[in-house]
Structure 1
Amino acid sequence: MTKYTLPAVASLLAANMAFAGNTVAPAEDPVLTPAAPVATTPNWTGFYVGGQLGYANVDTNVAGVDGDDIIGGFVAGYDYDLGNWVVGAGLDYDFADIGLAPGVSVENVFRVKLRGGYKIGNGLLYATGGYANADTSTLGDDDGYFIGAGYEHLISDQFSLGGELLYHEFDNFNSTAIDVEATTIQLRGTFRF
């Protein structure tokens, strides 16, 4: 047993002497830390269809010719997600029965709109504007424009809820010298695909 012990001890002493003046510290194992999660926002790119319901107030430059009532209809469009920004185009068609004077009422409003906005989490804060056409019971229809703003929030990847405030203007409505201003505020729900 001594025959084997002596060589083993000699080997251990030689190994210790070989490392005895080493100035390089042994390398430490690297510490792995998980990467911070990257905040992501939903992708708004795609088509949508839905409905809206709200309130409209119509004023004219003729005394006593104004009114307000419920307005609502259908929306459709397409949005394109640019990262933090979203741009899109859409169509709105609203039914109405807003009495302005005896025998005169606004019956529907059609809009072709552009919108652009900034994403805030699952929401989109946007500005909008475009072409509008209003049809009345006795004065015919006329073209005008609208501007406004809104907020839409994705409840899921395929459904959003939002609200929109629009200001409309129709100058010299159907060549009658009547200037019409209308403000609408509506809640909307859209299915996205």
Structure 2
Amino acid sequence: MIRRIALGAVSALAITAMVPAAMAADLPAYEPPAPVIAVPSFTWTGPYIGVQAGYSWGSAARANKDGFLVGGYAGYNVQLDNSPVVLGIETDFNYADIDGRHGRARVDSDWNGATRARVGYAFDRFLAYAAGGVAYADRNLRIRGSGSDSKTALGWTVGGGVEYAATDDVAVRAEYRYNDYGKDRFKVGGRSEYTDHSVRVGVAYKFTSPF
């Protein structure tokens, strides 16, 4: 009798132990969630090269002058880590057709350029920036009946603009600049200053940064 009771107790315990195991086997297998892979956002960091065209107006030797320019630019941007701040350096060189007259005097400029530091604030693919640096240009002064003289002017420039990355590789821009090329002494006409304003549009190809 005692033996039968013991066997019954053992069987009951075995059945009790098997029920949770069977229920666990019926539950769906738990799979951990797939890791989230962060997709890198656009960055302005890297070198670029572009072409631009614009219109310039100003004064030199008391003559109002204006005209068009076309050229190229190249530079390098660095967007600070986890920040919208963009720092850069850029240089450009342009062919110009800028001239003006005042009385017997005629002034013109055939080329200009600048090397500038840039600081900007990025809204993802949109960049607003300010820039300033060294400006240079040729200056030609002719006075009817007295002759002519030419100088290479060196001064400063300041301005700003907006830029938009249409793709990861192509960015378009529009900007304004004020240029002050200082005063030069000519063999004809004496000392003359040269200042101008310009508006420009450009398109650039951005290379993938090696860093």
TM range (shorter): 0.7 to 0.9
Work out the CA distance in 2 between the residues paired with 1:143 and 1:132: 6
Is the Cα contact below 8 Å between 1:142 and 1:174 reproduced in 2?
Answer: no
Is residue 158 of structure 1 aligned with residue 145 of structure 2? no
Is the Cα contact below 8 Å between 1:41 and 1:122 reproduced in 2?
Answer: no
The alpha carbon displacement at 1:131 in A equals 0.3
Is residue 75 of structure 1 aligned with residue 89 of structure 2? no
Q: Secondary structure of the residue that 2:44 maps to in structure 1?
A: coil
Q: Secondary structure of the residue that 2:191 maps to in structure 1?
A: coil
Distance 1:38 1:149, change over 3 A: farther
Distance 1:60 1:104, change over 3 A: closer
Where do 4+ consecutive residues of structure 1 move more than 6 Å?
37-40
Work out the CA distance in 2 between the residues paired with 1:39 and 1:59: 51
Work out the CA distance in 2 between the residues paired with 1:73 and 1:133: 14
Q: Which amino acid aligns with 1:98?
A: I
Work out the CA distance in 2 between the residues paired with 1:148 and 1:41: 28
Work out the CA distance in 2 between the residues paired with 1:132 and 1:174: 18
Partner of 2:125: 122
Work out the CA distance in 1 between the residues paired with 2:171 and 2:181: 31
Is residue 168 of structure 1 aligned with residue 182 of structure 2? no
**Pairing 1:23-38 to 2, within 5 Å after superposition:** none
Partner of 1:3: none
More strand by share: 2
Q: Which amino acid aligns with 1:74?
A: G
Is the Cα contact below 8 Å between 1:100 and 1:106 reproduced in 2?
Answer: no
Question: Identity of counterpart residues, as a percentage?
Answer: 25
The alpha carbon displacement at 1:182 in A equals 0.6
Q: What's the RMSD between the two structures over aligned residues?
A: 2.9
Is residue 93 of structure 1 aligned with residue 93 of structure 2? yes
Is residue 50 of structure 1 aligned with residue 50 of structure 2? yes
The alpha carbon displacement at 1:38 in A equals 7.9
May I ask how many residue pairs the two structures share in their alignment? Answer: 172
In structure 1, list runs of 5 or more residues that go unmatched: 1-6, 15-31
